[in-house]
Amino acid sequence: MNAVAVNPRKREVVLIDHPAPEISAGTEVKFRTLEVGICGTDREICRFDYGDPPIGDDHLVLGHEGLGEVTEVGSDVHRIKPGDLVVPMVRRPCHHSHCVPCRKDRSDFCMTGDFVERGIKQYHGFMTEYVVDHEQYLCVVPPALRDVAILMEPLTVAEKALIQIWQIQKRLDWECPVVEGKAPGHCRQAVVLGAGPIGILGAMALKVAGFQTTVYSRSKVPNLKSELVESFGVRYISSESTSPEELARMLGNIDVVYEGVGGAKVSFDVLKVLGLNGIFVFTGIPGFPLPHITVDGELIMRNMVLKNQVALGTVNAGRDAFEAAIHDLGIFMQRWPGTVRSLITGRFGLKDARGLLLGAATGIKNVLDVA
Ligand SMILES: NC(=O)c1ccc[n+]([C@@H]2O[C@H](COP(=O)([O-])OP(=O)(O)OC[C@H]3O[C@@H](n4cnc5c(N)ncnc54)[C@H](OP(=O)(O)O)[C@@H]3O)[C@@H](O)[C@H]2O)c1
Ligand SMILES: [Zn+2]
Ligand SMILES: [Zn+2]
Protein backbone atom coordinates (compact mmCIF):
# COMPACT_ATOMS: atom_id res chain seq x y z
CA MET A 1 0.00 0.00 0.00
CA ASN A 2 1.13 3.54 -0.71
CA ALA A 3 1.55 5.74 2.37
CA VAL A 4 2.97 9.18 3.18
CA ALA A 5 5.35 8.98 6.11
CA VAL A 6 8.07 10.79 8.00
CA ASN A 7 11.33 9.23 9.12
CA PRO A 8 12.42 11.57 11.95
CA ARG A 9 15.83 9.90 12.38
CA LYS A 10 16.72 10.50 8.74
CA ARG A 11 14.67 13.74 8.62
CA GLU A 12 12.81 12.54 5.52
CA VAL A 13 9.24 12.92 4.27
CA VAL A 14 8.65 10.01 1.90
CA LEU A 15 6.10 7.97 -0.04
CA ILE A 16 6.57 4.42 1.28
CA ASP A 17 5.20 0.95 0.68
CA HIS A 18 3.30 0.18 3.89
CA PRO A 19 1.88 -3.27 4.79
CA ALA A 20 -1.90 -3.57 4.37
CA PRO A 21 -3.63 -3.94 7.77
CA GLU A 22 -5.96 -6.86 8.52
CA ILE A 23 -8.68 -7.27 11.14
CA SER A 24 -7.28 -9.24 14.08
CA ALA A 25 -9.92 -8.66 16.80
CA GLY A 26 -13.70 -8.92 16.84
CA THR A 27 -14.12 -5.24 17.70
CA GLU A 28 -12.07 -4.02 14.73
CA VAL A 29 -13.24 -2.34 11.54
CA LYS A 30 -11.34 -2.04 8.26
CA PHE A 31 -11.93 1.00 6.09
CA ARG A 32 -10.70 2.29 2.75
CA THR A 33 -9.33 5.80 3.14
CA LEU A 34 -11.26 8.32 1.05
CA GLU A 35 -9.73 11.62 2.12
CA VAL A 36 -7.17 13.01 4.55
CA GLY A 37 -7.05 16.67 5.56
CA ILE A 38 -3.73 18.47 5.91
CA CYS A 39 -3.14 21.00 8.70
CA GLY A 40 -0.37 22.87 10.47
CA THR A 41 0.28 19.86 12.74
CA ASP A 42 1.28 17.73 9.72
CA ARG A 43 3.54 20.50 8.46
CA GLU A 44 5.20 20.81 11.90
CA ILE A 45 5.78 17.04 12.00
CA CYS A 46 7.40 17.37 8.57
CA ARG A 47 9.71 20.03 10.06
CA PHE A 48 10.53 17.41 12.74
CA ASP A 49 9.33 19.71 15.58
CA TYR A 50 7.56 16.62 17.03
CA GLY A 51 5.95 13.42 15.73
CA ASP A 52 7.11 9.94 16.78
CA PRO A 53 6.90 6.60 14.90
CA PRO A 54 5.39 3.61 16.69
CA ILE A 55 7.93 1.94 19.01
CA GLY A 56 10.27 -0.22 16.92
CA ASP A 57 9.37 1.48 13.62
CA ASP A 58 11.46 3.99 11.64
CA HIS A 59 8.47 5.62 9.96
CA LEU A 60 5.33 7.36 11.12
CA VAL A 61 2.51 7.31 8.56
CA LEU A 62 1.08 10.83 8.64
CA GLY A 63 -2.55 12.01 8.70
CA HIS A 64 -4.92 12.54 11.62
CA GLU A 65 -7.89 14.15 9.81
CA GLY A 66 -9.42 11.13 8.09
CA LEU A 67 -12.52 9.97 6.27
CA GLY A 68 -13.06 6.38 5.18
CA GLU A 69 -15.57 3.91 3.79
CA VAL A 70 -15.94 0.68 5.78
CA THR A 71 -15.03 -2.48 3.84
CA GLU A 72 -15.07 -5.16 6.56
CA VAL A 73 -16.09 -5.49 10.21
CA GLY A 74 -15.09 -7.91 13.00
CA SER A 75 -17.55 -10.39 14.52
CA ASP A 76 -18.26 -8.20 17.59
CA VAL A 77 -18.97 -4.99 15.66
CA HIS A 78 -22.66 -4.05 15.78
CA ARG A 79 -22.91 -0.27 15.27
CA ILE A 80 -20.94 -0.10 11.99
CA LYS A 81 -21.44 -2.01 8.73
CA PRO A 82 -19.63 -2.22 5.37
CA GLY A 83 -20.39 0.79 3.19
CA ASP A 84 -20.68 3.21 6.16
CA LEU A 85 -18.71 6.44 6.05
CA VAL A 86 -16.54 6.88 9.14
CA VAL A 87 -14.41 9.60 10.67
CA PRO A 88 -11.81 8.23 13.10
CA MET A 89 -10.97 9.91 16.38
CA VAL A 90 -7.29 10.79 16.80
CA ARG A 91 -6.15 10.01 20.34
CA ARG A 92 -6.01 6.61 22.07
CA PRO A 93 -5.74 6.14 25.85
CA CYS A 94 -2.56 5.61 27.84
CA HIS A 95 -2.18 2.27 29.61
CA HIS A 96 -1.83 3.48 33.19
CA SER A 97 -4.53 2.07 35.43
CA HIS A 98 -4.45 5.24 37.58
CA CYS A 99 -5.25 7.57 34.64
CA VAL A 100 -8.93 8.17 35.36
CA PRO A 101 -9.73 10.16 32.18
CA CYS A 102 -8.23 7.46 29.92
CA ARG A 103 -10.00 4.69 31.83
CA LYS A 104 -13.25 6.62 31.34
CA ASP A 105 -12.69 6.99 27.58
CA ARG A 106 -11.61 10.64 27.90
CA SER A 107 -8.04 10.35 26.65
CA ASP A 108 -8.38 13.96 25.46
CA PHE A 109 -7.90 14.80 29.17
CA CYS A 110 -5.14 12.18 29.75
CA MET A 111 -3.22 12.79 33.00
CA THR A 112 0.01 11.00 32.11
CA GLY A 113 0.93 12.22 28.62
CA ASP A 114 1.47 8.61 27.55
CA PHE A 115 -1.50 8.58 25.15
CA VAL A 116 -0.84 7.86 21.49
CA GLU A 117 -2.28 9.77 18.53
CA ARG A 118 -2.87 8.49 15.02
CA GLY A 119 -0.57 10.23 12.56
CA ILE A 120 1.13 12.24 15.33
CA LYS A 121 2.46 10.20 18.24
CA GLN A 122 3.53 6.54 18.11
CA TYR A 123 0.60 5.33 16.01
CA HIS A 124 0.34 5.31 12.21
CA GLY A 125 -2.13 7.76 10.67
CA PHE A 126 -4.48 7.82 7.72
CA MET A 127 -2.36 8.91 4.72
CA THR A 128 -2.55 5.42 3.32
CA GLU A 129 -5.02 3.25 1.42
CA TYR A 130 -6.55 1.03 4.13
CA VAL A 131 -6.77 1.39 7.90
CA VAL A 132 -7.96 -0.87 10.73
CA ASP A 133 -9.28 0.60 13.96
CA HIS A 134 -11.56 -0.33 16.84
CA GLU A 135 -15.25 0.44 16.45
CA GLN A 136 -15.26 2.63 19.56
CA TYR A 137 -12.97 5.18 17.89
CA LEU A 138 -14.98 5.53 14.68
CA CYS A 139 -17.85 7.98 14.16
CA VAL A 140 -20.42 7.15 11.48
CA VAL A 141 -21.16 10.10 9.19
CA PRO A 142 -24.39 10.49 7.17
CA PRO A 143 -23.80 9.99 3.41
CA ALA A 144 -25.17 13.51 2.74
CA LEU A 145 -22.02 14.93 4.39
CA ARG A 146 -19.60 12.88 2.23
CA ASP A 147 -18.03 15.84 0.40
CA VAL A 148 -17.40 17.96 3.53
CA ALA A 149 -16.96 15.31 6.27
CA ILE A 150 -13.21 15.87 6.21
CA LEU A 151 -13.91 19.14 8.07
CA MET A 152 -15.31 17.22 11.03
CA GLU A 153 -12.06 16.62 12.90
CA PRO A 154 -10.95 20.28 12.89
CA LEU A 155 -14.52 21.27 13.86
CA THR A 156 -14.30 19.09 16.99
CA VAL A 157 -11.86 21.64 18.47
CA ALA A 158 -14.64 24.24 18.54
CA GLU A 159 -17.23 21.73 19.68
CA LYS A 160 -15.14 20.69 22.67
CA ALA A 161 -14.65 24.40 23.46
CA LEU A 162 -18.39 25.07 23.25
CA ILE A 163 -19.25 22.12 25.49
CA GLN A 164 -16.85 23.54 28.10
CA ILE A 165 -18.15 27.10 27.69
CA TRP A 166 -21.70 25.99 28.52
CA GLN A 167 -20.44 23.87 31.41
CA ILE A 168 -18.42 26.74 32.91
CA GLN A 169 -21.23 29.24 32.56
CA LYS A 170 -23.54 27.03 34.56
CA ARG A 171 -21.87 28.99 37.39
CA LEU A 172 -24.36 31.82 36.68
CA ASP A 173 -27.72 32.33 34.99
CA TRP A 174 -26.15 32.92 31.59
CA GLU A 175 -28.50 31.55 28.94
CA CYS A 176 -30.36 34.19 26.97
CA PRO A 177 -34.13 34.64 27.28
CA VAL A 178 -35.96 32.12 25.11
CA VAL A 179 -36.87 33.74 21.79
CA GLU A 180 -38.52 31.63 19.10
CA GLY A 181 -36.16 30.96 16.20
CA LYS A 182 -33.07 32.02 18.17
CA ALA A 183 -30.41 29.71 19.63
CA PRO A 184 -29.40 29.99 23.33
CA GLY A 185 -26.40 32.30 22.84
CA HIS A 186 -28.30 35.02 20.97
CA CYS A 187 -27.75 37.78 23.57
CA ARG A 188 -24.01 37.05 23.87
CA GLN A 189 -21.02 38.45 21.97
CA ALA A 190 -18.35 36.06 20.76
CA VAL A 191 -15.04 37.00 19.17
CA VAL A 192 -13.08 34.46 17.15
CA LEU A 193 -9.37 35.14 16.77
CA GLY A 194 -7.97 33.96 13.43
CA ALA A 195 -9.57 33.06 10.13
CA GLY A 196 -7.87 29.76 9.36
CA PRO A 197 -9.88 26.52 9.36
CA ILE A 198 -9.96 26.42 13.18
CA GLY A 199 -11.25 30.01 13.40
CA ILE A 200 -13.76 29.78 10.53
CA LEU A 201 -15.26 26.48 11.71
CA GLY A 202 -15.36 27.91 15.25
CA ALA A 203 -17.19 30.99 13.97
CA MET A 204 -19.75 28.77 12.23
CA ALA A 205 -20.30 26.73 15.41
CA LEU A 206 -20.69 29.86 17.55
CA LYS A 207 -23.10 31.36 15.01
CA VAL A 208 -25.20 28.17 15.04
CA ALA A 209 -25.20 28.33 18.86
CA GLY A 210 -26.74 31.79 18.47
CA PHE A 211 -23.79 34.00 19.47
CA GLN A 212 -23.36 37.40 17.85
CA THR A 213 -20.03 36.46 16.33
CA THR A 214 -17.13 38.54 15.03
CA VAL A 215 -13.93 37.18 13.51
CA TYR A 216 -10.88 39.28 14.42
CA SER A 217 -7.91 38.34 12.28
CA ARG A 218 -4.81 39.78 10.69
CA SER A 219 -5.34 40.32 6.96
CA LYS A 220 -6.92 43.58 5.91
CA VAL A 221 -10.32 43.52 4.19
CA PRO A 222 -11.24 42.55 1.59
CA ASN A 223 -9.52 39.19 1.33
CA LEU A 224 -10.64 35.62 0.56
CA LYS A 225 -11.15 34.76 4.24
CA SER A 226 -13.04 37.97 5.13
CA GLU A 227 -15.40 37.41 2.20
CA LEU A 228 -15.91 33.81 3.20
CA VAL A 229 -16.64 34.74 6.83
CA GLU A 230 -19.09 37.47 5.81
CA SER A 231 -20.88 35.03 3.46
CA PHE A 232 -22.27 33.21 6.52
CA GLY A 233 -23.34 36.36 8.32
CA VAL A 234 -20.36 36.86 10.62
CA ARG A 235 -18.53 40.17 10.78
CA TYR A 236 -14.80 40.19 9.97
CA ILE A 237 -12.56 42.85 11.51
CA SER A 238 -8.87 43.16 10.76
CA SER A 239 -6.40 43.53 13.61
CA GLU A 240 -4.28 45.61 11.21
CA SER A 241 -6.91 48.35 11.13
CA THR A 242 -8.76 48.01 14.47
CA SER A 243 -7.14 47.71 17.89
CA PRO A 244 -8.52 45.31 20.54
CA GLU A 245 -9.71 48.34 22.56
CA GLU A 246 -11.62 49.69 19.54
CA LEU A 247 -13.03 46.21 18.95
CA ALA A 248 -14.36 46.09 22.53
CA ARG A 249 -15.89 49.58 22.17
CA MET A 250 -17.67 48.45 18.99
CA LEU A 251 -19.01 45.20 20.44
CA GLY A 252 -19.78 45.98 24.08
CA ASN A 253 -19.27 43.22 26.64
CA ILE A 254 -17.24 40.43 24.99
CA ASP A 255 -18.66 37.27 26.56
CA VAL A 256 -16.55 34.67 24.76
CA VAL A 257 -13.24 34.68 22.91
CA TYR A 258 -12.38 31.59 20.87
CA GLU A 259 -8.71 31.84 19.96
CA GLY A 260 -7.52 30.12 16.78
CA VAL A 261 -4.40 32.13 15.95
CA GLY A 262 -1.55 30.26 17.62
CA GLY A 263 0.23 33.49 18.65
CA ALA A 264 0.36 34.90 22.18
CA LYS A 265 0.73 38.63 21.44
CA VAL A 266 -2.65 39.25 19.82
CA SER A 267 -4.28 36.70 22.13
CA PHE A 268 -3.18 38.41 25.35
CA ASP A 269 -4.00 41.83 23.85
CA VAL A 270 -7.57 40.59 23.32
CA LEU A 271 -7.66 38.90 26.74
CA LYS A 272 -7.20 42.43 28.15
CA VAL A 273 -10.58 43.48 26.68
CA LEU A 274 -12.55 40.33 27.60
CA GLY A 275 -15.83 41.37 29.22
CA LEU A 276 -17.45 40.77 32.60
CA ASN A 277 -17.96 37.08 33.39
CA GLY A 278 -16.20 36.36 30.09
CA ILE A 279 -14.54 33.15 28.95
CA PHE A 280 -11.37 33.05 26.86
CA VAL A 281 -10.64 29.73 25.16
CA PHE A 282 -7.12 29.18 23.85
CA THR A 283 -6.83 26.56 21.09
CA GLY A 284 -3.75 27.83 19.25
CA ILE A 285 -0.42 26.12 19.75
CA PRO A 286 2.52 28.49 19.22
CA GLY A 287 5.17 26.82 17.08
CA PHE A 288 8.87 26.50 17.84
CA PRO A 289 11.06 28.46 18.40
CA LEU A 290 8.95 30.16 21.09
CA PRO A 291 9.72 33.89 21.13
CA HIS A 292 9.58 35.85 24.40
CA ILE A 293 6.83 38.44 24.46
CA THR A 294 5.71 40.99 27.03
CA VAL A 295 2.16 40.84 28.36
CA ASP A 296 0.30 43.20 30.73
CA GLY A 297 0.16 40.62 33.48
CA GLU A 298 -0.93 42.97 36.26
CA LEU A 299 -3.83 44.35 34.23
CA ILE A 300 -4.88 40.90 33.05
CA MET A 301 -4.82 39.48 36.58
CA ARG A 302 -6.74 42.48 37.92
CA ASN A 303 -9.38 42.05 35.21
CA MET A 304 -9.63 38.31 35.65
CA VAL A 305 -10.41 38.70 39.33
CA LEU A 306 -12.60 41.79 39.23
CA LYS A 307 -14.53 40.55 36.16
CA ASN A 308 -14.96 36.89 37.17
CA GLN A 309 -13.18 35.77 34.02
CA VAL A 310 -12.09 32.27 33.02
CA ALA A 311 -9.28 31.41 30.61
CA LEU A 312 -8.85 27.82 29.50
CA GLY A 313 -6.90 25.83 27.00
CA THR A 314 -8.38 22.91 25.12
CA VAL A 315 -6.82 20.19 23.01
CA ASN A 316 -8.07 17.20 21.05
CA ALA A 317 -11.68 16.03 21.48
CA GLY A 318 -13.83 13.30 22.96
CA ARG A 319 -16.73 11.43 21.41
CA ASP A 320 -19.23 14.08 22.57
CA ALA A 321 -17.43 16.71 20.49
CA PHE A 322 -17.29 14.39 17.46
CA GLU A 323 -21.05 13.77 17.74
CA ALA A 324 -21.65 17.53 18.08
CA ALA A 325 -19.48 18.13 15.00
CA ILE A 326 -21.53 15.69 12.90
CA HIS A 327 -24.71 17.43 14.06
CA ASP A 328 -23.40 20.96 13.43
CA LEU A 329 -21.82 20.12 10.07
CA GLY A 330 -25.29 19.01 8.98
CA ILE A 331 -26.69 22.39 10.06
CA PHE A 332 -23.84 24.26 8.34
CA MET A 333 -24.68 22.41 5.10
CA GLN A 334 -28.37 23.30 5.37
CA ARG A 335 -27.57 26.98 5.92
CA TRP A 336 -24.39 27.65 3.96
CA PRO A 337 -23.60 24.72 1.62
CA GLY A 338 -21.54 26.76 -0.85
CA THR A 339 -19.44 28.36 1.88
CA VAL A 340 -18.78 25.06 3.66
CA ARG A 341 -17.66 23.43 0.39
CA SER A 342 -15.44 26.41 -0.41
CA LEU A 343 -13.43 25.81 2.79
CA ILE A 344 -11.91 22.84 0.97
CA THR A 345 -9.63 24.77 -1.35
CA GLY A 346 -7.85 21.86 -3.03
CA ARG A 347 -7.95 18.08 -3.48
CA PHE A 348 -4.70 16.32 -4.40
CA GLY A 349 -3.32 12.81 -4.85
CA LEU A 350 -0.99 11.02 -2.40
CA LYS A 351 1.91 11.72 -4.76
CA ASP A 352 1.35 15.49 -4.27
CA ALA A 353 1.55 15.18 -0.47
CA ARG A 354 5.25 16.02 -0.09
CA GLY A 355 4.83 19.29 -1.99
CA LEU A 356 1.81 20.26 0.12
CA LEU A 357 3.50 19.35 3.39
CA LEU A 358 6.85 20.95 2.66
CA GLY A 359 5.88 23.92 0.46
CA ALA A 360 4.32 27.24 1.48
CA ALA A 361 0.85 26.95 3.07
CA THR A 362 -1.91 27.82 0.61
CA GLY A 363 -5.70 27.98 0.62
CA ILE A 364 -7.80 27.10 3.68
CA LYS A 365 -8.17 23.31 3.94
CA ASN A 366 -6.25 21.15 1.47
CA VAL A 367 -7.19 17.51 1.25
CA LEU A 368 -5.56 14.35 -0.09
CA ASP A 369 -8.01 12.39 -2.20
CA VAL A 370 -6.90 8.82 -1.56
CA ALA A 371 -9.89 6.93 -3.03
N1 LIG B 1 -6.24 22.78 20.34
C2 LIG B 1 -6.33 21.89 19.39
O3 LIG B 1 -6.75 20.74 19.59
C4 LIG B 1 -5.89 22.27 18.00
C5 LIG B 1 -6.20 21.47 16.90
C6 LIG B 1 -5.81 21.91 15.63
C7 LIG B 1 -5.13 23.11 15.50
N8 LIG B 1 -4.82 23.85 16.60
C9 LIG B 1 -4.11 25.13 16.52
O10 LIG B 1 -5.06 26.13 16.16
C11 LIG B 1 -4.36 27.23 15.56
C12 LIG B 1 -5.11 27.66 14.30
O13 LIG B 1 -5.06 26.63 13.33
P14 LIG B 1 -5.40 26.93 11.79
O15 LIG B 1 -5.14 25.67 11.07
O16 LIG B 1 -6.70 27.60 11.66
O17 LIG B 1 -4.21 27.98 11.48
P18 LIG B 1 -3.96 28.97 10.26
O19 LIG B 1 -4.58 28.43 9.03
O20 LIG B 1 -2.52 29.29 10.29
O21 LIG B 1 -4.79 30.28 10.65
C22 LIG B 1 -4.35 31.21 11.60
C23 LIG B 1 -5.18 32.49 11.45
O24 LIG B 1 -4.72 33.41 12.45
C25 LIG B 1 -4.43 34.66 11.84
N26 LIG B 1 -3.31 35.30 12.54
C27 LIG B 1 -2.04 34.87 12.62
N28 LIG B 1 -1.31 35.75 13.35
C29 LIG B 1 -2.16 36.75 13.71
C30 LIG B 1 -2.01 37.95 14.46
N31 LIG B 1 -0.82 38.30 14.99
N32 LIG B 1 -3.07 38.73 14.62
C33 LIG B 1 -4.28 38.39 14.11
N34 LIG B 1 -4.49 37.27 13.39
C35 LIG B 1 -3.43 36.46 13.21
C36 LIG B 1 -4.04 34.32 10.42
O37 LIG B 1 -4.25 35.48 9.64
P38 LIG B 1 -3.97 35.55 8.04
O39 LIG B 1 -5.24 35.04 7.42
O40 LIG B 1 -3.74 36.98 7.78
O41 LIG B 1 -2.77 34.67 7.79
C42 LIG B 1 -5.00 33.17 10.09
O43 LIG B 1 -6.24 33.65 9.65
C44 LIG B 1 -2.93 26.74 15.32
O45 LIG B 1 -2.10 27.30 16.32
C46 LIG B 1 -3.03 25.23 15.49
O47 LIG B 1 -1.82 24.69 15.96
C48 LIG B 1 -5.20 23.44 17.83
ZN1 LIG C 1 -5.26 18.78 12.12
ZN1 LIG D 1 -4.05 8.70 30.23
Model pLDDT, residue 255: 98
Do 164 and 277 belong to one domain?
yes
In-domain check, residue 356: yes
Q: Are residues 18 and 131 in contact, defined by beta-carbon separation less than 8 angstroms?
A: no
Residues with CB under 6 A from ligand 1: 39-40, 157, 194-199, 217-219, 225, 239, 260-263, 266, 283-285, 314-316
Do 200 and 129 belong to one domain?
no
Whole-number Å distance, alpha carbon 88 to ligand 2 midpoint, is: 12
CATH of the domain at 11: 3.90.180.10
CATH of the domain at 300: 3.40.50.720
Model pLDDT, residue 77: 98
Span 68-73, mean pLDDT?
98
Cα distances (Å, whole numbers) of residue 221 to 217, 218, 228, 246, 261: 10, 9, 11, 17, 17
Do 45 and 139 belong to one domain?
yes
Do 348 and 363 belong to one domain?
yes
In-domain check, residue 335: no
Whole-number Å distance, alpha carbon 107 to ligand 3 midpoint, is: 6
- What is the domain extent for residue 40? 2-148+343-369
Q: In the listed set 293, 313, 333, which residue is the last one of a domain according to the structure?
A: 313
Residue type, 339: T
Model pLDDT, residue 219: 97
In-domain check, residue 206: yes
In-domain check, residue 276: yes
Do 241 and 300 belong to one domain?
yes
Q: In the listed set 313, 331, 351, which residue is the last one of a domain according to the structure?
A: 313
Do 144 and 34 belong to one domain?
yes
- What letter would DSSP give residue 52? B
The count of other CB atoms within 10 Å of the CB of residue 81 is 11
Model pLDDT, residue 370: 96
Protein residue with its CA nearest to atom 43 in ligand 1:
195
Model pLDDT, residue 261: 98
Structural domains in the chain (count): 2
Find, among 261, 280, 258, the residue nearest to 271 by Cα.
280
Burial track 267-291 (b if 16+ CB lie within 10 A, e otherwise): bbbbbebbbebbbbbbbbeeeeeee
Sign of CA dihedral 91, 93, 94, 99: positive
Work out the pLDDT band at 258, boundaries 50, 70, 90: very high
Do 51 and 93 belong to one domain?
yes
Task: State how far the Cα of 304 lies from the Cα of 17, in Å rounded to an integer.
Answer: 53
Whole-number Å distance, alpha carbon 155 to ligand 2 midpoint, is: 10
Residues contacting 235, CB < 8 A, separation 6+: 213, 214, 215, 229
Whole-number Å distance, alpha carbon 115 to ligand 2 midpoint, is: 17
Model pLDDT, residue 180: 96
Find, among 284, 229, 281, the residue nearest to 256 by Cα.
281
Do 31 and 133 belong to one domain?
yes
Residue 231, classed as helix, strand or coil, is: helix
Whole-number Å distance, alpha carbon 261 to ligand 2 midpoint, is: 14
Residues facing residue 141 across a β-bridge:
85
For 175-195, write each residue's pLDDT tens digit.
899 999 999 999 999 999 999
Task: State how far the Cα of 63 lies from the Cα of 316, in Å rounded to an integer.
Answer: 14
Do 12 and 130 belong to one domain?
yes
Phi, psi angle pair for 198, to nearest 5°? -65, -45
Q: Which ligand is nearest to the CA of 97?
A: 3
For 206-230, write each residue's pLDDT tens digit.
999 999 999 999 999 999 999 999 9
- Say if pTM beats, i.e. exceeds, 0.75: yes
Work out the pLDDT band at 88, boundaries 50, 70, 90: very high
| 65-73/85-88 β-pairing | antiparallel
Work out the pLDDT band at 30, boundaries 50, 70, 90: very high
**Percent of the residues in the chain that have a pLDDT greater than 90, as a whole number:** 99
The count of other CB atoms within 10 Å of the CB of residue 343 is 20
For 270-328, write each residue's pLDDT tens digit.
999 999 999 999 999 999 999 999 999 999 999 999 999 999 999 999 999 999 999 99
Do 104 and 223 belong to one domain?
no
Report the residue among 64, 261, 285 best suited for mutation to probe ligand 1: largest number of ligand atoms under 8 A from its CB.
261
Do 215 and 299 belong to one domain?
yes
Do 306 and 160 belong to one domain?
yes
Q: What is the mean pLDDT of the chain?
A: 97
In-domain check, residue 334: no
Span 98-106, mean pLDDT?
98
Report the residue among 109, 198, 216, 242 best suited for mutation to probe ligand 1: largest number of ligand atoms under 8 A from its CB.
198
Task: State how far the Cα of 160 lies from the Cα of 315, in Å rounded to an integer.
Answer: 8
In-domain check, residue 323: no
